[in-house]
Every structure is written in structure tokens, then in C-alpha cells.
Chains A and B, each alone.
Chain A
Amino acid sequence: MMRVFVRWQRARWLRENPGRSGVLAIAMMPLIYLAPLDRLPIFDNWRTGAAAVAFVSAIALTAICLRDSAAVPQAGVWLFQKGIRIQDAYLARWSIDMGFVLLACLWASIGLAIGSAVHDTLNMQWLLAVIAASALLAVIAGTLLFGAAASGTTRGGDALALLLFVSLLEPLGTMFLPESGRMVAHAFLMPVLETAAAPRRLHENPISAVHAALHITIWCTVWIGFGVWHLTRWRPSPGAR
């Protein structure tokens, strides 16, 4: 089954989403890190700018490429009538797309390494931390989009943007809540802040990194479970025109 879906998703990437121009744009992504990002007034230094670009581009790439990977169209009836479980099929498709996105992130990190050597000193520990955090952010955004698309909403991208915004403002929004309230709010929000910091924390404070990893794992599992639950309930609509 996986081989068929890889063939189909590869064709989809080239023809539909992101399409040839999108694939070309992804191929050019490493070049962005050759730019002198430290000259931008919003970044203190090149590393800060490069990390921000890596994080934002990972989430943006995921939002574009995975927005409807798990959305079952009426064409799902072809798999249904061949006895393929819809949840297996669309989880496989999403996983393949997620794999493509992670490969794209890895490809972009070549530029990150070269840019780091050109504009800064090449620090492998920092480089690996940024690559790992970008990949984790892509997976987190991807799982949210999986759950949203599988549940039938076409506004997965909007949900991602909104939740991302709210999650980034979490420290401000929960400032006046008691400790228990902060913990509850934190559990439901996207673990973006701790993900971005997780690889660094792994070096500085391993316990804190383990806590972050647990939160990320549970959050992703819940969203994937939610999506799979919706997909198992999917049925064709006979008589629909």
C-alpha cells in the first residue's frame, strides 16, 4: 500500500500541491540563509535571524504542503470500495507528505550550515538544535492540520495560524492565572515555544527538555488520534450529486 501512495503523493507534489513552482521554491530555500540576516533591525545577530527563518519556514512549508493531506474527498470512495481502510490510507498519505516536508527542512538546513559558516562561526551544537526544533515544529503543525482536515474542516490553515498566535502569546495570556490554570492552558495550547527551546534545554536542563518532549508527544498523539477517529467514521454518500 505504501508504495502506491508514495507514487501518488510524489505525483501530487509535482502537479498539484505545492506544484512545480512550489518544488522549485523549496529547492531555492537554502539560499535564504546566505543573506546577511543580522542587518535586519529585528534580529540581534545572524544566528537569531537564521533560527527565526528556519522556524517560520518550517511551519509555513507544512501549512502549504499538508493543508489537505488528510481531507477525504468524494474520491475516497475508490479506496473504500477496494476494501482499503480510509484511516490507514489517509494516515499513510499524511505521513508521506510529512516525510517530504521534513526532507525539505533538511535540504534547507544545508543552506543554514553554509550561511552559518559564512556569516558566523559554524557551531554544530547550535545547528543541530535549530534543525531539530524546526523539524519538531513542522511535525506539530502537521499533526494539527491532520486532525483538522480529517475532521472535515477546510479551515485548517486558519486554525493553525490562530492557535500559533495564541500559543506564542501564552506567557502574556496566562500571566494572571494561578499555577494550576497556567498548566491547564499550557496543555491545550500548541507547544511551540517549548519546542523552539527544547533542543537548547536538552543541553542546559535535561529535566525541562523531557517535560517538553512529553508535552509534544501527548499533544501530537491526541491530534492524530482525533483525526484517525474521524477518518474511521468516513463513509461515501450514495446518491450525492
Chain B
Amino acid sequence: MPEIRCSGLRHVYPNGVVALNGVTLELEAGITGIVGLNGVGKSTLMGILLGALQPTSGTALIDGLTPDDYRVKHRVGYVAEGVRFEGWMHVGEFLDGLAALCNAADYDSFGTDAFRSRRLDELSQGQRRRVEIAAALIGGVALLILDEPTNGLDPIALRELRDILRSLRRPGISVLVSSHHLDELERIVDRVVLMTRGEVSAVHTREELLEQYGSFDAFGARLTTGGAS
């Protein structure tokens, strides 16, 4: 089982903004939703787990190594709205190339075989998301980070994404999903981490949250009025 643990993570940006203020968290296998208002530090936490940001203090460990260690980088997959492709590449060239770079003999294509010879800049949003997830998972990933994966998807693509994410509910992979679409999170997550002002203010299982609030949307309504815990 992968071991993904954050302990007392604090991150202060050069302009003095405190994005994380002592986050302690252990990610288990399965799908974890991370929720909170804009600016509470969700993307910063994801950036640290990706190895793109250095914590000011505290530690993040993946299998006992810090995420910026090149021995563990390939264990973290990252999909975010701002991530782009080199559009001139074909889907097959891109995925096969990444697999070769990771020395991966095989990879899960998540249905991208149907459009392998298309250019990456000619894909629909749903197709893009499938390629992104397939690419992110190449190379023995232990943690898959998804930042707002449902943005821009039509209902069919949303359903496909849900199916893909459910298929990732397997031992050895932790999925961390950040989304403002709480109704979507309700359908896929096993647990929810609530972040407030740079801290983890609560961790609930899906069932606990539904029992307490009735639905994730109701939880979201309380979140915006500051009443969620």
C-alpha cells in the first residue's frame, strides 16, 4: 500500500500569503475529495504533493520520500485544468512516448485507442480528460491528483469520467479530487477533506457527510455560510 502523509505542512508564498498553516493528513487508497472555498490552499497542497512547490515547513512524504525526490516523482499523477498538451502531437505518440520515458511496458488507455491518431489539440473536452488521466497514470502511480476534473465536461463526458474514477478504486492508488461541483463529488468519493483557511478542519467519510447534511450540496451550502464542520 502506498503511504502518503502530510505532517504540519505550512506554505507561505513570497508575497507573505499563508496558503497552508499546519496541514496534517494521511491519504488512504480510494477516492478522497478535497473541498473548501477559493484560496483555502487546495491547489497549494496539491502543488506540494506534486513536487512543484516546497513547503516552508513540515513534511509531505510519499512512500517515505519527499515529492520533489526524482525517485518518487513518477508515483504522482497530476491532472488540472491549466495543464496543456503540445497540440501537434497525436494521442498515440504522446501516450506511447510517456510510457517509453517511464519504462512502462503497458498502460491503461481508458478508451483513447479509438482516437489514437488524432492531434491532441483536436480533441473534445471529454476525450482530453481521458487522455490526461491515461497519461497521468502511466508509470506506476500511487497518488492521482485531479484539480477540478469536471470543469467543461458535458453530461456524457461527466458520466465517463465517473466510470473511470470508480475503476480507479483499487488497492495501491489514492485519488485526490478537488472540485467545486459537490454533487459530482457525492457520486464518486469515499471520503472528504474539508479545508478552511489553510488548515484541514474536518475529514468525513461519504456516509458520515450524507448522514449529517443529507447531501453534498447541502454541505456546500453550509460551507459557504461558514457553518460546515
Let me know if A78 and B44 touch, CB within 8 A.
no
Docked pose: A240 CA to B81 CA in angstroms = 8
**Does B221 belong to the interface (CB within 8 Å)?**
no
Which A198-241 residues have a C-beta within 8 angstroms of B? Answer: 235-241
One digit per residue, 1 when the CB lies within 8 angstroms of any chain A CB and 0 when it does not, for chain B 71-89 equals 1111011101111111011
Flag if A82 contacts B98 (CB, 8 Å). Answer: yes
**Chain B residue contacts of A83, Cβ below 8 A:** 70-74, 102, 139
Q: Is B46 an interface residue (CB 8 A)?
A: yes
Interface residues on B, range: 35 or more
Q: How far is the CB of B91 from chain A (nearest CB, A)?
A: 12
Which residues of the other chain, A, contact B53 by a CB distance below 8 angstroms?
235, 238
Closest to B139 in A: A82
- How far is it, in angstroms, between the C-alpha of A16 and the C-alpha of B46 when the chains are bound? 33
A203 to B168, CA, bound (A): 68
In Å, the complex CA distance between A84 and B100 comes to 12
Query: Which residues of chain B are near A237, meaning CB under 8 Å?
Result: 47, 52, 82
A75 at the interface (CB under 8 A from B): yes
How long is the Cα–Cα vector from A235 to B78 in the complex, in angstroms?
Answer: 13
Q: Is the interface of B mostly helix, strand, loop or mixed?
A: mixed
Q: Which residues of B contact A3 (CB under 8 A)?
A: 100
- Determine whether the beta carbon of A79 is less than 8 Å from that of B74: no
A73 at the interface (CB under 8 A from B): yes
Determine which of B44, B72, B88, B102 lies in contact with A16 in the assembled complex, contact meaning CB atoms within 8 Å: B88
Cβ contacts under 8 Å, A80 to chain B = 50-52, 73
Is A155 close to B, CB under 8 A?
no
B214 CB–A CB distance under 8 Å: no
What residues of chain A lie closer than 8 Å to B88, measured between beta carbons?
11-12, 15-16
Docked pose: A235 CA to B50 CA in angstroms: 10
Contact B74 A7, beta carbon cutoff 8 Å: no
Q: Are B84 and A235 in contact (CB under 8 A)?
A: no
Asked if residues B84 and A236 are in contact (CB atoms below 8 Å), the reply is no
How does the 8 Å CB contact mask read for A45-86 relative to B, with 1 for contact and 0 for none?
000000000000000000000000000011101111111110
Chain A positions within 8 Å of B77 at CB level: 81
Q: Does A4 contact B (CB under 8 A)?
A: yes
Contact (Cβ within 8 A) A236 B52 = yes
The CA of A116 and the CA of B102, in the complex, are separated in Å by 50
Kindly state the separation between the CA atoms of A86 and B147 in the bound complex, as whole angstroms: 22
Task: Contact check, B97 vs A7: say whether CB atoms are below 8 A apart.
Answer: yes
Q: Does B17 contact A (CB under 8 A)?
A: no
A238 B147 Cβ-Cβ under 8 A: yes
Q: Which of A4, A12, A77, A85 contacts B83 (CB 8 A)?
A: A77
Q: Give Cα A11 to B101, complex, Å.
A: 17
15 A-B pairs within 8 Å (CB atoms) are namely: A7-B97, A8-B93, A11-B88, A73-B86, A77-B78, A78-B83, A80-B51, A80-B73, A81-B73, A82-B74, A237-B47, A237-B52, A238-B53, A238-B78, A241-B82
